[in-house]
Amino acid sequence: FPSLLQFPFGRRLPCDIYWHAVSFHDNAIDSGLVNKFPGMAEMVRKITLSRAMRTMQELFPDEYDFYPRSWILPEELAIFLTEIHMIKETNPTWKPTFIVKPDGGCQGDGIYLIKDPSDVRMTGTLQTRPSVVQEYISKPLLIDKLKFDIRLYVLLKSLQPLEVYVAKDGLCRFCTEPYQEPTLKNLHQVFMHLTNYSLNIHSGNFVHSDSGNTGSKRTFSSILDRLSSGGIDVRKVWSDIISLVIKTVIAMVPDLKVYYHSDIPPGKPGPSCFQILGFDILLMRNLKPILLEVNANPSMKIDYEKEVSPGVIEYLPSPVDEEVKVAVIRDTLRLVDPHKKKRQEEALADLAEPTWQEKDDSLDERSLEKLELNGSVSPETTAPAMCLKEVFPKYAKQFNYLRLVDRIADLFIRFLGVKGTTRLGPTAFRTFIRNSKISNSGFSMAAADILYIDITRRGSGLGVDQRDVGMGLQAFVEAICLLAQRRYKSLSLHEQVELLMDFCEYHLATLDEKRLAGQSRPVPEHRTAVVTCHHDRLQLSPAAHTPPPYHHAHKLVDYRSRRT
């Protein structure tokens, strides 16, 4: 990247951009930009992500059906066994397969398939290393009779305001044995069922290729070209994938906000953050995209190892990886470049000067150089086209109605109080109930204490750091849902929560106004209309066009009976 100087061994003076290998906490920094968000590694762990997605599935079941049904083990083993038994009783023809994934696992480590729920390996390892069990997608789209998944690169450029970019190309990782639907005989054939590159690289059938449309790793664009030639509407496929990415990020943002506030509270010096994420997506036979997982540290290697002789490893270039990954990193730096705006302003100032040469009516050399540098004038020979496409806020109006938990997170952060914590104590929860005027609506402070104790006790199971006790964000969301169901009857859950949030935000805004003014005075009427949703599968259009609304008629459920 020509406008940036690299310091691979560090630098005493502050840098503009810090590129951390693993997490936000790799180095202690208080300025500039860093390529990791606080808490991202924790957020994308399988249990944390499953909890966040489950919350969204409770609120918007039709919009979040792209994430497989999930249970957390061993915490929810009894619930898992009971639910599967009940489903089989009502539908005897249902013969599912399940996939068990260790919470902190990566590269396929510890993953296994089962047909009978009772086959879950209840070992000592499971007690210390919890897992997520999901319904296995048994009818994937096949190419050349092989199962594959898509690694798509997503840039989260900013949390507030939310800015998301999606790479126009990705990588398709193929299994190395022809796919067959799961049976007791083939459950253990990982080269048939698991698409992880780190596993299939050890198969004798793995093919390295210099071409993006052959081999065991191919470009997603080559797969789309092949589908398009078969008459498939690939624009619809892309639309559904972009929708999946935006909805997943929306589900992740509330927890990330809490982590960010904990590490960089308002008024405290700290860096700005961005991060490249790896979304692993599976296409079903009907072309519906399914989210498998999100990776906080996707591999950016553009070579691979080959044992040329016993004990001798050679690193060979991988043109397919280089084609996709170099463009992602290059354009990420172009987008976050802190000096880009300054160079643009200088270039515009130069354009305002009389720099035209009378002889040939062309820009002078200095102005042209500056314009090329900042991208205002970018001949194809010097500035490749951007591979990262903005999807949010571009399509914000189509998805903002889903940001309900985001509003709950803002309330949660408001009452956190103590710096460095991510959990509400009982006093803070009581303050929330009182200041939001919930206690004036037939809900006593004693009832608030009971609710707090009940939820935090059930939420302090496995996977929760016992040193960090209190009410976490997901438990607070559950409390909000219970309060909303108690207050508003005969509505869908998301409508109930929407109304309660309007109620709380109105009274908190009134309280803030009184504190600022020192006396009571009217505040602008707060919106009380329920946010409406659109159910049609999205064909994405720019945010300027608002899709027609509709109303869900979701069955009212008791959140207390749900898994926490």
Q: Are residue 446 and residue 474 in the same domain, yes or no?
A: yes
Q: Could you give the CA distance from residue 544 to residue 434 in angstroms, rounded to a whole number?
A: 40
* 449 domain residue, yes or no: yes
Omega before 522 cis (within 30°)?
A: no
| Statement to judge: residues 362 and 511 lie in one domain | no
Q: Tell whether the model's pLDDT for residue 276 goes beyond 90.
A: yes
457 lies in the same domain as 537: yes
pLDDT of residue 338: 83
Taking only the tens place, the pLDDT of each residue in 282-307 is 999 999 999 999 999 999 999 988 87
In a domain, 540, yes or no: yes
The total of structural domains in the chain comes to: 2
Residues in contact with 512: Cβ distance below 8 Å, sequence separation at least 6, in sequence order? none
Q: Predicted confidence band at 384 (pLDDT cuts at 50, 70, 90)?
A: confident
Tell me: pLDDT of 519 over 70: no
Contact between residue 24 and residue 263 where contact means Cβ atoms under 8 Å apart: yes
| C-alpha to C-alpha distance for 437 and 506, rounded to whole angstroms | 10
Residue scoring higher pLDDT (508 or 311): 508
First-to-final CA distance of the chain: 46
Q: Whole domain around residue 512: which residue ranges?
A: 403-561
Please confirm whether the linkage preceding 178 is cis (ω < 30° from 0).
no
Question: Which position has the token pair 């790479």?
Answer: 167
415 and 461 both lie in a single domain: yes
90: pLDDT strictly greater than 70: yes
Tell the burial category of 383 from Cβ atoms under 10 Å away from its Cβ (0-12, 13-18, 19+).
middle
* Average model confidence (pLDDT) across the chain: 83
* Residue 478 burial by Cβ neighbours in a 10 Å radius (0-12, 13-18, 19+): buried
CB 163 within 8 A of CB 393: yes
Q: Is residue 361 part of a domain?
A: yes
More confident residue, 271 or 392: 392
Same domain flag for 382 and 419? no
Q: What pLDDT is attached to residue 114?
A: 93
Q: Is residue 426 part of a domain?
A: yes
- Whether residue 349 is found in the same domain as residue 432: no
- Give the integer Cα–Cα distance in Å for 161 and 163: 6
Confidence of residue 417 (pLDDT cuts 50, 70, 90): confident
Distance in angstroms (rounded) separating the CA atoms of residues 58 and 552: 13
Is 478 contained in some domain? Answer: yes
426 with 518, same domain: the answer is yes
Q: Are residues 375 and 453 in the same domain?
A: no
Q: Using the predicted structure, report yes or no on whether residue 486 has a pLDDT greater than 60.
A: yes
pLDDT over threshold 80, residue 539: no
User: Is the same domain home to 443 and 473?
Assistant: yes
pLDDT digits (tens, 9 = 90+) for 230-270: 999 999 999 999 999 999 999 999 999 999 998 887 777 77
Has residue 537 been placed in a domain? yes
Contact 119, 133 (CB under 8 A): no
Confidence of residue 172 (pLDDT cuts 50, 70, 90): very high
Find all residues with CB under 8 Å of 29, minimum gap 6, and list them: 14, 18, 271
Same domain, 373 and 414: no
Can you list the alpha helix ranges (DSSP code H) found in 91-166? 124-128
